[in-house]
Amino acid sequence: MALVDQSPYTPGAGHNPPVLAGRDGLLRDWHLVLNDIVSSGRVRAQDMILAGPRGVGKTVTVSAFADLAKEQGFEVVNLQAVSGHAGLVEAVLQRARTRMAEEAGPWQRARKAFERVGGVNLSIAGIGAGISTRPSGALAAGLDAGTLADALATLAAEVRKDAHSGGLLITVDELQVASGPDLALLAATLHRLNVDHPSAPVLFAGTGLPFTPDALRKAGVTHPDRLFVLEPIPLTLQPGDARYAVVEPARRVGVAWTPEAAAVVVEASNGYPAHLQLFAHAIWTSAPGPDQITLGDVEAALPRVADMLERRTLGPRWDRISDRQMEFLAALALHGGRASTAAIAKTLGRSQQELSWLREELIEEGDVYAPKRGQLAMAVPLFNRFVLSHYERTRPEAATELLSLQEMIANAELDPSAAHAGGGHAAPRRAERNPPVATAQRRIWAAAFLSGGAPLPNGVGIHTVTQRS
């Protein structure tokens, strides 16, 4: 871009976008939650878990939550659950140690309470290293939620003394990878706070893939929905919000997208936040400017973006999945990226029970998710087309014999003629069709650019996925 060369877009996990489109309502609710905590304490706490597929904006939303809390005088402890690493309590103690080394203040004054949690003297240098090498969950297993709740309530009270407002907010990103004992301890600690410290201004917000409530249940948390407010973050932004996310950051620096140019980015990305940023950034970078981005700029840039997406994201993922997972995803993709588990079983000619472990694997790895009970959806909208255009090419290399797309179509009794009508997918005969929207033409165009617009195998159609969870 000739006029302003710094792209205002934020591709990449966890990068805060200049406008957090479509989350106004959620941020307003969060504001009220903070007010409640400040005025009434834990007794009014609504611990929130943002649950959604990858790339939808969970991390950036929770970080906006943290910013709002800081504005109200909260001390914020941001933690990230990391598979196979030190547990959450270890992470809290690490934070305590660092903060105590740095300054006098609330952490210092809460020192004794944290020492009871770790059973250690936090003033001893080097203790952090000792803590972090313990295997995940080992400390948590021997820990008492009541002691941890005491320490957090003490810290919150000390923060309040200094700030005369606020309290303590704990955030945990990627809850789904936390160990079972850690999740159980977290839930028990929040519960003990409710019971033992009703006036403590302590609040929790976490994020996780859509199966996080199940992970909590597996960890022995009986009613995650009672302890937490589970806030689903949908796969795609509403078209108006997606458009705003494209247009507004540019407008702020004096650059205008033409309506057609913005519309194609919205369509091509399906309004999926991660791809929206990626596409808008790449188009910005190659557009000549100086103060406008046109349809021509988009058309010139998209093949390169598609190529980059394939090389960096979709391709590497495809190369890592197992043969059977590949076959499962192909069956799902044939149904347009969303189907009942029964329909997938029929397509693969196997029982739902036989497929349940594959389904679990793909859910836990974040490739698919269950938008509702008995349904499955592709977690990255553009993976759909990618899977269909690569499956037959990859199939011969599989160590196991896999069904061909044609065999799947026959099993599922899909109607191949639907594939040729206006970008539709090979639709189940009786199932509802996607509405033939006015944007159908643009949608086909948008879908066709992946894999260089390579034709799909005979009788195989695709529509881009725009479902919401």
Interface ranges with ligand ATP (CB under 6 A): 10-15, 17, 20-23, 52, 54-60, 245, 273-274, 277
CB of 393 to ligand ATP, least distance (A): 27
Residue at shortest CB range from Mg ion: 59
Give the ranges where 142-211 is alpha helix by DSSP (H): 145-163, 180-196
Burial class (CB in 10 A: 0-12, 13-18, 19+), 467: middle
Task: Report the SS3 class of residue 205.
Answer: strand
Between 59 and 154, name the residue whose CB sits nearer to Mg ion. 59
CB of 224 to ligand ATP, least distance (A): 19
Pick one of Mg ion, ligand ATP, none as the site partner of residue 60 (Cβ within 5 to 8 A by kind).
ligand ATP
Tell me which residues touch Mg ion (CB under 5 A): 59
CB of 14 to Mg ion, least distance (A): 6
**375 secondary structure, DSSP code:** E
Between 146 and 232, name the residue whose CB sits nearer to ligand ATP. 232
Between 159 and 205, name the residue whose CB sits nearer to ligand ATP. 205
Burial class (CB in 10 A: 0-12, 13-18, 19+), 442: middle
Q: Are 397 and 320 in contact (CB under 8 A)?
A: no
CA distances from 49 to 173, 195, 205 (A): 10, 20, 6
CB environment 39-78: b (16+ within 10 A), e (fewer) = eebbebbbbbbbbbbbbbbbbbbbbbbbebbeebbbbbbb
Please name the residue that has the structure tokens 């349940």: 356
How far, rounded to the nearest angstrom, does the alpha carbon of residue 376 sit from its chain's CA centroid?
16
Between 59 and 179, name the residue whose CB sits nearer to Mg ion. 59
Between 12 and 288, name the residue whose CB sits nearer to ligand ATP. 12
Pick one of Mg ion, ligand ATP, none as the site partner of residue 12 (Cβ within 5 to 8 A by kind).
ligand ATP
Q: Are 17 and 277 in contact (CB under 8 A)?
A: yes
Pick one of ligand ATP, Mg ion, none as the site partner of residue 11 (Cβ within 5 to 8 A by kind).
ligand ATP
Distance CA 403, CA 364 (A): 24
CB of 53 to ligand ATP, least distance (A): 7
CB of 64 to ligand ATP, least distance (A): 9
CB of 237 to ligand ATP, least distance (A): 6
Pick one of Mg ion, ligand ATP, none as the site partner of residue 305 (Cβ within 5 to 8 A by kind).
none
Pairing label, strands 256-257, 75-80 = unpaired
Between 57 and 459, name the residue whose CB sits nearer to Mg ion. 57
Residue at shortest CB range from ligand ATP: 57
